[in-house]
Amino acid sequence: MTDRYAVIGNPIAHSRSPLIHRAFADQTGQDLSYEALLGPLDTFTPFVRDFFAAGGRGLNVTLPFKEQAYALCDVLSKRAQQAGAVNTLMRGKDDRIYGDNTDGVGIVRDMTQNHGWTLAGKRVLIIGAGGAVRGVMGPLLAAGIASLRIVNRTPEKAETLAALFKGEGDVAAVRYEDLEPGSVDILINGSSASLSGELPPLPAGILADGACAYDMAYGKGELPFMAWARGQGAARVSDGLGMLAEQAAESFYIWRHVRPETAPVLAMLRELVAKG
């Protein structure tokens, strides 16, 4: 019997998850179906419970439901607890609903395995203080970075987020005007600025020699943040398309206990994005 999986969000028509997971299934010989579901804004929790009651095995969760998914879980992974949000749901053999968050491991794997970046001992600055940033902080700290600084247009939000991870490593909020020259080895944009064509108010000269820059967003062509970083002398620059593929692969592994190869799927995604 074919196992049923899906991604749920609202809106959802733009999601590339069905393409990704069907490609993973074909590659690994797994008997499963994967579809996109438009989640009801007012009745998300009963909708999900009905999906599992009808035999569904797992769900990916995207905006705006990640916090609601967190709340409905019977069991949460440490990654989900740190993120305060869930993007991967699974029905266990005991019929309990298990929740995980694969965004952080997705960005770490993309940086280290796909791009060959070293995270251990690096000074990381991340822009933004929303759910996307919170979701990746725990795995970044676990990767052995030297320090993690958070900068945001609303400093109070950065301070609140930093306080949540105080026990996980050297974490602090900073202000744009206090950023020092050459103080950043890895710069991550977790804000929505690039998608709106804007740039965060970053001072020039903050990147250290050999610094890398990563935009968690992706789109056709080079995003404004990536162009800025390249102009500032970043040695290597990347968008977040590989993070999308890697977080999906981690979800697939959680469900099926088989780790798919992401390289061919990422190449497919690159071609699709390039075509617009």
Ordered DSSP codes for 126-168: EE--SHHHHHHHHHHHHTT-SEEEEE-SSHHHHHHHHHHTGGG
Domain total for the chain? 2
DSSP code of residue 233: T
Q: What is the CATH number of the domain that holds 252?
A: 3.40.50.10860
- Give CA–CA dist 108/122, Å, rounded: 13
Task: Quote the distance between the C-alpha of residue 148 and its chain's center.
Answer: 17
Same domain, residue pair 218 and 249:
no
Query: How many Cβ atoms are within 10 Å of 13's Cβ, its own excluded?
Result: 7
What per-residue confidence (pLDDT) applies to 156? 97
What per-residue confidence (pLDDT) applies to 67? 95
What per-residue confidence (pLDDT) applies to 19? 97
Give binding residues for NADP(+) as ranges. Answer: 128-132, 152-157, 216, 240
Q: Indicate the pTM of the whole model.
A: 0.95
Q: What is the CATH number of the domain that holds 197?
A: 3.40.50.720
Q: Is 122 a catalytic residue?
A: no
Query: How many Cβ atoms are within 10 Å of 126's Cβ, its own excluded?
Result: 26
Q: Which residues contact 221 (CB under 8 A, 6 or more apart)?
A: none
From 66, 78, 93, 122, the catalytic residue:
66
Same domain, residue pair 95 and 200:
no
Q: Say if CB 188 and CB 143 are below 8 A apart.
A: no
Give binding residues for shikimate as ranges. Answer: 15-17, 62, 87, 103, 218, 247
Give binding residues as ranges. Answer: 15-17, 62, 87, 103, 128-132, 152-157, 216, 218, 240, 247
Same domain, residue pair 14 and 113:
no
What per-residue confidence (pLDDT) applies to 192? 83
Same domain, residue pair 113 and 227:
yes
DSSP code of residue 247: H
- Give CA–CA dist 244/110, Å, rounded: 9
Same domain, residue pair 12 and 46:
yes
What per-residue confidence (pLDDT) applies to 220? 86
Same domain, residue pair 256 and 226:
no
Same domain, residue pair 164 and 193:
yes
What per-residue confidence (pLDDT) applies to 196? 79
Same domain, residue pair 138 and 97:
no
Provide block-wise average pLDDT over 10 residues at a time, the chain (276 residues). 96 96 98 98 97 97 96 97 96 94 98 98 97 95 98 96 95 97 98 82 96 94 93 97 98 98 97 89
What per-residue confidence (pLDDT) applies to 90? 98
- Give CA–CA dist 191/216, Å, rounded: 8
Cα 170–Cα 176–Cα 178 angle in degrees, nearest 5: 70
Query: How many Cβ atoms are within 10 Å of 167's Cβ, its own excluded?
Result: 8
> For residues 176, 181, 184 and 190, what is the CA-based torsion angle, rounded to 10 degrees?
30
The domain in which residue 173 lies consists of 104-239
Same domain, residue pair 157 and 233:
yes
Same domain, residue pair 233 and 250:
no
Tokens 């320090």 found at: 147
Same domain, residue pair 113 and 184:
yes
Same domain, residue pair 54 and 95:
yes
